[in-house]
A and B are shown apart, each in its own frame.
Chain A
Amino acid sequence: MSSVLHATALSKHYGKQAAVDRVNLEIQPGRIVGLIGPNGSGKTTTLKAALGLIPFEGELKVLGFDPRTQRDDLMKEVCFIADVAVLPRWMRVRDALDFVAGTHPKFDRSKADAYLAKTKLKPTMKVKEMSKGMIVQLHLAIVMSIDAKLLVLDEPTLGLDILYRKQFYQNLLEEYFDEGKTIIVTTHQVEEIEHILSDLIFIREGKITLNTSMDEIAERFTEVMVGSEHYAAAKALGPIDERSVFGKTVFLFDGINRSTLAPLGDMKTPGIADLFVATMKGTYA
């Protein structure tokens, strides 16, 4: 099957500022892709371009559709949660389900009802009476009941407490995701989605700085805790980052063979958060 998202030299300028700068990107079906970047790095802009919400330059195909000219067809196959709390405040739970059922050919009402039955939401409840967490539950119930090929989540759990956040990703993984679907998610809480991702994309100042599968990360990146006696030797191997912990130095290496590193100290695969911090150094400087 062809790729879910295919971008060639995708750019978006706000005035003279490039929010997205000649990005090339390919996302395959059946993946859960984390799009990670600091504030203002172009994550949301990239997603908005893919969802046909903004004009852009370059070439971009999502599920084979051009979001600029074929948005109406595209939206039958794509679903997104653009932000928390964008459900209209006047709407009742029942109205929301009725409306989506009436307008979306791939919406399964019984699924949504079953999911909502497990929450505290009542059909007559209005969005403005709900907490942020409940709004997201409703939105997720709607989105999970739509049989879309691509689901885009832009900071879907921002401002939620950890219970809602855990539940959100758990539901997504257990009750929604399958090999025929693709999920693209952006978030700042990288640790929380680390275990569900299959691919990782880092974006910085409108450019992609890392695009790899999670399996590859273990092969490519190694974190080594080095005592002072091996400091110079480790430094000589060209670490991409170093930090001090308890009198020792933690070095992060990219593409150095583990057998080379083993004599230097204890090794482990870095977490996404450490990798992120290391590669994004100086972003706000």
Chain B
Amino acid sequence: MNTMKWLLKREYWEHKGGFFWAPVVVSGLLALLTIGSMLFATAAGSQGSFHLDGNNAAINLQQALNDISDPQKIEFAKGLAVGYPAVAMPLMFTLGFVVFFYCLGCLYDERKDRSILFWKSLPVSDRDTVVSKALTALVVGPIIAIAFALALSLVVLFTLMVLAALHGLNLFGLVLGDTNFYLVIAQIVSFIPVYVLWALPTVGYLMFVSSWAKTKPFLWAVGVPVVGGVILTWVNALAGSPFVLESYWKIIVARGLGSVFPGSWLGQVAETNVNMNPDNAVSVLLANTYSLLGTANLWIGVVIGLVFLAGAVRMRRYRDEG
């Protein structure tokens, strides 16, 4: 009896819209946009309207690409080999939104539509249920989003290289021969464990509010910290600034509510990316990300997240659906 597997499936069935169709639509749009503009550029380029390096002589794409020197070509391929997943960044942003609203709804909606009475008629503990929902937000959602991100990135990259090759610029050997091309995939996947830890306090908090709120979980979850900040601002204005508001907004609002957005940790660590270049970009980002593991910020967040999740289990156990 593999209860957890079924619980995760259940969450996926119910929230397929957010975890599957949202990335499908966003990747589709991104593919359309990037590939469309590449096709447009090549079409326009074959008419000969390229201006390179401030050179006013209009040349066509073929000529423009032929003019690229070998060192330039190598630089370009290096950049592509490491930077191609950048096209999928909006998917990570989408993921942040999906996870945010999923967490906010997952323990509230089942009470609202009373389906909790069905779920609770089965021999599944509240702990397992809450854990399955947290795992959906922290692991399943990100894995699906990253799979889409990589697929989209590869499609866009290969389209670009095919188009370039058709116009006389063959980058296949250089890009595919670059170890970064493969490494970057592994590196992106290895962001997931950090995401799990980093997003935990927000996921825990939102799920707790979801399990507790009688109505309007969004207003409670977002309204309370924001109104709190506004009140503190007033107190500061009237009483000569007894509070350090900057850290309130930074810790409670940005970290507390925003940590479900992948990469939101990057502003929080000592910047060592001064010398970031195509050769080391991903490893620098990854090193920055993993340097989080040495910060109190991350681990305090983990503890707070777990406390909130325990609270959500407790709430679900006895919260009367009315």
Residues of A within 8 A of B (CB): 48, 51, 53-55, 71-72, 75-76, 79-83, 85-91, 95, 98-100, 102-105, 139
Contact = CB atoms under 8 A, between A and B. Distances in A.
A148 B52 CA distance: 78
- Shortest 4 CB-CB contacts between residues of A and residues of B: A102-B6, A82-B117, A88-B115, A75-B123
B286 to A, nearest CB: 37
B120 interface: yes
B28 to A, nearest CB: 23
B123 A105 contact: yes
Interface size class of chain B, counting residues whose CB lies under 8 Å from the partner chain: 20 to 34
Nearest to A152: B121
A240 to B, nearest CB: 35
B121 A102 contact: no
Instruction: Find the residue from B6, B121, B317 having the highest chain A CB count within 10 A.
Output: B121
Interface in B115-155: 115-118, 120-125
Contact of A103 (B1, B115, B117, B317): B1
24 contacts: A53-B120, A54-B318, A71-B125, A71-B317, A72-B123, A75-B121, A82-B117, A82-B121, A85-B114, A86-B116, A86-B118, A87-B115, A88-B110, A89-B113, A90-B14, A91-B13, A91-B14, A95-B10, A95-B13, A99-B6, A100-B122, A103-B123, A103-B124, A104-B123
B13 A90 contact: yes
A88 B113 contact: yes
A86 B122 contact: no
B190 interface: no
A88 B14 contact: yes
Nearest to A81: B121
Contacts of B317: 71
A243 to B, nearest CB: 37
A81 B320 CA distance: 16
B1 A102 contact: yes
A50 to B, nearest CB: 13
Contact of B117 (A71, A86, A100): A86
B134 to A, nearest CB: 18
A72 B117 contact: no
Contacts of B13: 90-91, 95
Nearest to A139: B118
Nearest to A45: B320
B2 interface: yes
A1 to B, nearest CB: 21
A88 B110 CA distance: 8
B5 A76 contact: no
Contact of B115 (A55, A72, A86, A102): A86
Contacts of B47: none
Contacts of A88: 14, 110, 113, 115, 118
Given A72-B123, A88-B14, A95-B13, A102 B117 contact: no
B1 A87 contact: no
Instruction: Find the residue from B110, B123, B317 having the highest chain A CB count within 10 A.
Output: B123
Contacts of B187: none
B245 to A, nearest CB: 39
Contact of B1 (A51, A91, A105): A105
A79 B122 CA distance: 7
A211 to B, nearest CB: 26
B121 A54 contact: no
Q: Is the interface of A mostly helix, strand, loop or mixed?
A: loop
Given A80-B117, A81-B121, A99-B10, 9 more contacts: A53-B117, A71-B317, A75-B121, A75-B124, A79-B121, A86-B115, A95-B10, A102-B2, A102-B3
Interface in B1-57: 1-3, 5-7, 9-10, 13-14
Nearest to B115: A88
A8 B320 CA distance: 23
Contacts of B122: 75, 100, 103-104
Contacts of B117: 53, 80, 82-83, 86
Contacts of A105: 1, 123
A91 B11 CA distance: 11
B3 A103 contact: yes
Interface in B69-126: 110, 113-118, 120-125
Contacts of A48: 320
A81 B122 CA distance: 11
A47 B318 CA distance: 14
B279 to A, nearest CB: 48
B13 to A, nearest CB: 6
Contact of B320 (A53, A85, A102, A139): A53
Contacts of A79: 121
B6 A72 contact: no
A98 B120 CA distance: 16
A54 B320 contact: yes
Given A82-B121, A95-B13, A103 B6 contact: yes
A80 B120 CA distance: 9
Contacts of A76: 123
A188 to B, nearest CB: 19
A130 B10 CA distance: 20
A152 to B, nearest CB: 9
B95 to A, nearest CB: 21
B320 A86 contact: no
Contacts of B7: 103
A158 to B, nearest CB: 13
